[in-house]
Amino acid sequence: MNLDEIRHKIDKIDRELLVLLQERMSLAIRSKKFKSSVVDVDREEVVLSRAERMNLALVPGSFSRRLLRTIIEESRRLQQEDRPLVAFQGEPGAYSEVACRHLMPGAAFIPCMEFIDVFQGVQEGYLDLGVVPVENSLEGAVTQVNDLLTTTDLKVIGEVRVAVNHCLLATEPMDLRDLRVVYSHPQALAQCQRFLLQHKLEPRPYYDTAGAAKMLARENPRAAAAIASKLCGELYDMEIIAEGIADGTANSTRFLLLSRQAYAGRGDKTSIIFATAHQAGRLFNVLRLFAEADINLTRIASMPLRTDPGNYSFFLDFEGDMQDANVADVFAQLEKMAIVFKCLGSYPADRTGI
């Protein structure tokens, strides 16, 4: 083993340590919801004593204790800041976190394994807010999220549309010609197929774009890269080898901000879910209500109704607030016509498109 190889291994360990530290801080912030006080002296002493007892030849117990003491003090500081906990599905650096950072700058962003974890965490009060993708410009509706929206009591209080800008990331600067394999979510690999073929790169599916970047940062395999967001490059100290590598440019995802309480002000966009009897003209009659009230629809989508698979739930977004006179009048008529009707909330429409 030569000096370069030793340093390569050290770099890998340093990245892994920092990624693990980020995970620990995230868990520490979440723990506040389950405690009566930030400081728990007995618990801290258990952690410190355990570290001190570990028989590590090159890491004296006294150093382990000092190191963990510093980490615990930083955990305390983060908990005392009392940041809102904003949940998203995926690993840190996912496009969902990009949306979180735009919608709730300065919050603590909490990754969750599944969409249901985001909904349940917010509903039960362990998390303050949730950010979920509802539709993609290329792939269409995010079915699982739409399904959860039909059963949740949570309210939509904001939205943002995030441009999906795929980047090729590596752990160190390198020439494209030195790369052999690329890891990412199958959807991202498919969207960058032309780039991969052009540069003779072998695509290797991974469960998540940000997860692929995280794996690369921790394991540091040679001649490998990941397709993920630019944010992943910043979080995991990775080099952007190429940016904007998707085959098409018009790729964006719309995200919703979920809360237990409705938006406090007046919104200029509203989302509803409804179902009508499976009879000719029923859907047309509902849509005619909006047309006659001069209400502009911005989205309509459908999916099978859980309780009646032969029928459909319809997701409708439109311009206006549910307190507007024309909207209230449409709602009054719609409640009589629909077999299911739910207003997810009125909220500020996204005008930025990041």
Catalytic center residues? 253, 255
Q: 255 in helix, strand or coil? A: strand
How many Cβ atoms sit within 10 Å of the Cβ of residue 301? Answer: 17
- Could you tell me the two tokens for 309? 């698979």
Q: Across the chain, where does the E strand assignment appear?
A: 85-89, 108-112, 129-136, 140-141, 155-163, 167-170, 181-184, 202-205, 224-228, 239-243, 252-259, 269-275, 297-305, 308-319, 340-347
CB-based contacts of 4, cutoff 8 Å, min separation 6: none
Q: Say if CB 127 and CB 86 are below 8 A apart.
A: yes
Integer CA distances (angstroms), 339 to 301, 313, 342, in order: 17, 10, 10
Instruction: For residue 249, count other CB atoms closer than 10 A to its CB.
Output: 10
Q: Tokens for 53, please give them.
A: 């007892």
Q: Assess contact for 161 and 102: CB atoms under 8 A.
A: no
Closest CA to 11 of 218, 187, 181: 218
Q: Which residues, 6 or more positions from 275, have their beta carbon under 8 angstroms from its beta carbon? A: 305, 308, 311, 312, 313, 314, 338, 339, 340, 341
Length of the chain: 354
d(CA 113, CA 100): 16
Is 346 within 8 Å of 269 (Cβ atoms)?
Answer: yes
Count of CB atoms situated within 10 Å of the CB of 310: 7
Give one DSSP letter per residue of 20-43, joined into a string: HHHHHHHHHHHHGGG-S-S--HHH
DSSP 350: P
